[in-house]
């Protein structure tokens, strides 16, 4: 996978910058159709050179002067991913009654049958 890694020396440490594009495949959250998600990753880390610097000024991806690029890129992708992967922003999802994809076949059901578990409450509502 092509990527761009830039190391910039600062007065108290090193700035690490990573850029790459990735393509993920998976199901849509609403309709379960195959979906392709393209992400542009642009992330930055800082590594202090002085051992007296606080721990939060050191990147967890550098240990013994070796950069764990795989872990850093994996975490960057995880942070860029949306909460829900959708095939398109206006995805209608699946019909809750028949399970058909509402994007392909938008429809409504004329008589939506009530859940039998609510029958006792509906009877009580009708009596009141």
Q: What is the pLDDT of residue 82?
A: 93
pLDDT value of residue 43: 97
- State the Cα–Cα distance between residues 55 and 57, nearest whole angstrom: 5
Q: How confident is the model at residue 111 (pLDDT cuts 50, 70, 90)?
A: low
Whether 8 shows a pLDDT value over 90: the answer reads yes
Backbone angles phi, psi at 124, to 5 degrees: -65, -40
pLDDT tens digits, one per residue of 24-46: 999 999 999 999 999 999 999 99
Of 60, 76, 84, which Cα lies nearest the Cα of 21?
76
| pLDDT at position 125 | 87
* Domain ranges for the chain: 3-108
Show the DSSP H helices in the chain as ranges. 69-80, 119-127
> Cα 84 to chain center, whole Å?
6
């Amino acid at each position: 996978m092509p990527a761009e890694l830039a190391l910039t020396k600062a007065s108290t440490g090193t700035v690490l910058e990573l850029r790459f594009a990735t393509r993920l495949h998976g199901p849509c959250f609403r309709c379960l159709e195959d979906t392709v998600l393209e992400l542009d990753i642009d992330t930055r880390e800082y590594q202090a050179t002085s051992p007296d610097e606080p721990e939060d000024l050191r990147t967890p991806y550098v240990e013994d002067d070796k950069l764990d690029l795989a872990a850093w890129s994996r975490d960057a992708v995880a942070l860029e991913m949306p909460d829900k992967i959708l095939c398109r922003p206006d995805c209608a999802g699946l019909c809750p009654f028949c399970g058909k994809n509402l994007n392909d076949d938008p429809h409504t059901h004329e008589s939506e049958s009530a859940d039998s578990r609510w029958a006792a409450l509906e009877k009580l509502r009708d009596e009141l």
